[in-house]
Amino acid sequence: MSENTNTQSPDIDWNKIGFGYIRTDYNVRCYHKNGKWGEIEVSSDENISMNIAATCLHYGQESFEGLKAYRGKDGKVRLFRPDENAKRMQSTSNGILMPEMPTDLFIKMTEMVVKLNARFIPPYGNGATLYIRPLMIGVGPTVGVKPSSEFCFMIFVTPVGPYFKGGFSTGDYMITRSYDRSAPLGTGIYKVGGNYAASLKANKIAHDNGFMSEFYLDAKEKKYIDECGAANFFGIKNNTYITPKSSSILPSITNKSLMQLAEYMGLKTERRPIPEEELLTFEEAGACGTAAVISPIRKIVDLENNKEYVISKDGQPGPISRKLYEKYTAIQFGECEDPFGWTRVVEGI
């Protein structure tokens, strides 16, 4: 199976979709057994069958990634830095004793699943995209705590709506001291499900109180900024883009790319520990990640200490954040040239 003969447009209102799961036609899978990766399999089944004692179910031996395919202004479909997702997944594999998925196989399977589901790639225009979710799970049966001997790597895709339905805008965040998503020497630098399980309660509390998400300080001292929920943090002041250096945050591909773009646009960049009080000094700040690119921050509230760090006085995104966001998304949607060679056109769609 290398082609989908169904090219009919699906019955989806592209202007109404959010960030949920919509069934598509195919997913791709590849098993690692006896020390090597097997043949790529194409499946139209959205369920997986595995042993009841699989390590992913008991010991969280699981990793995932998230990237998108963008239908461009010129009709071409682009991936954004898929090699970076492959590299991060390799790092996660090394962190939790799973086999590395080679970059070329990762990209081959990504392009394959995008092509097989081409009819689900939203049209150019309103910011909707095809979200791509690679994941790897330990499937070998084990009862004692030890790594699996067999693994399954899969990729499914689902169309998602634009993050900003009403246009680029700011949101509020809530500092949490009662929960940590990861420890200084834990798995925060890897993309494993356990970190997200650890964040669910704090995330719910933040949402129930009307915040965009919870805001983490470093787990050890609660002195430095770590992450904004499932996104990295950056602040801007004195023409400098500043982002935390920490051993417990996920190395965001968006953040790494925004730093490069900021330098290209003439800003200085710094990656260093950021004490909580420094929040008061930022002219602009944002949460960054694949989902939103930049989600500008209006204020960060420290309920436990009865403090508020208001970053945007007028409630609007700052000019530098807007410029970075516009250039970044223009590259993704093929609206301008890509000076960094970040995008990769999926041929044959």
Ligand X SMILES: Cc1ncc(COP(=O)(O)O)c(C=O)c1O
Sketch the per residue contact string, 306 through 335, with ligand X: x for CB under 6 A, - otherwise: ------------------------------
Site for ligand X in 100-129 (CB under 6 A): none
Q: Report the DSSP pairing between strands 151-160 and 240-243.
A: unpaired
Least distance between ligand X and beta carbon 244 (Å) = 11
Nearer to ligand X, 80 or 309 (CB): 80
Which of 61, 129, 248, 254 is the binder for ligand X (CB under 6 A)? 254
Least distance between ligand X and beta carbon 183 (Å) = 14
Q: How far is CA 38 from CA 29, 31, 35, 160, 336, in A?
A: 9, 6, 10, 31, 39
Least distance between ligand X and beta carbon 144 (Å) = 30
List all residues 6 or more positions away from 221 whose beta carbon is below 8 Å from its beta carbon: none
For the chain, how are helix, strand and coil distributed in percent, rounded to 5? Answer: 25, 30, 45
Sketch the per residue contact string, 233 through 252, with ligand X: x for CB under 6 A, - otherwise: -----------------x-x
Interacting stretch for ligand X, rule CB under 6 A, among 43-51, 104-112, 230-238, 338-346?
A: 230-238
The number of beta carbons lying within 10 Å of the beta carbon of residue 66 is 16
Interacting stretch for ligand X, rule CB under 6 A, among 120-128, 162-170, 229-237, 320-328?
A: 229-237
Q: How far is CA 42 from CA 26, 38, 39, 152, in A?
A: 7, 13, 10, 13
**Residue keyed to tokens 């699989």:** 54
Least distance between ligand X and beta carbon 295 (Å) = 11
Nearer to ligand X, 1 or 185 (CB): 185
Q: Which residues of 2-18 are buried (b: 16+ CB within 10 A; e: fewer)?
A: eebeeeeeeeeebeebe
Sketch the per residue contact string, 209 through 228, with ligand X: x for CB under 6 A, - otherwise: ------------------x-
| Dist. CA 182–CA 124, nearest whole Å | 38
Nearer to ligand X, 26 or 168 (CB): 168
Report how many residues bind ligand X under the rule CB under 6 A. Answer: 12
Least distance between ligand X and beta carbon 221 (Å) = 20
Sketch the per residue contact string, 282 through 301, with ligand X: x for CB under 6 A, - otherwise: -------xx-----------
Contact call for residues 159 and 121 (beta carbons, < 8 A): yes
| Dist. CA 163–CA 127, nearest whole Å | 8
φ/ψ of residue 151, rounded to 5: -135, 155
Contact call for residues 318 and 283 (beta carbons, < 8 A): yes
State yes or no: is 327 an active-site residue: no
Nearer to ligand X, 120 or 234 (CB): 234
Nearer to ligand X, 93 or 252 (CB): 252
Contact call for residues 74 and 335 (beta carbons, < 8 A): no
Least distance between ligand X and beta carbon 282 (Å) = 19
Q: Which string of DSSP letters, residue by residue, matches 132-200?
A: EEEEEEE-SB-SSS---S-EEEEEEEEEE--S-TTSS--EEEEEESS--S--TTTTTTS-BHHHHHHHH
Nearer to ligand X, 55 or 252 (CB): 252
Max distance between CA atoms of the chain, in angstroms, equals 60
Q: Single out the catalytic residue among 68, 115, 191, 327.
A: 191
Nearer to ligand X, 26 or 234 (CB): 234
Sketch the per residue contact string, 47 through 86, with ligand X: x for CB under 6 A, - otherwise: -------------------x--------------------
Least distance between ligand X and beta carbon 256 (Å) = 8
Residues that bind ligand X (CB under 6 A): 66, 227, 230-232, 250, 252-255, 289-290
Catalytic residue set: 191
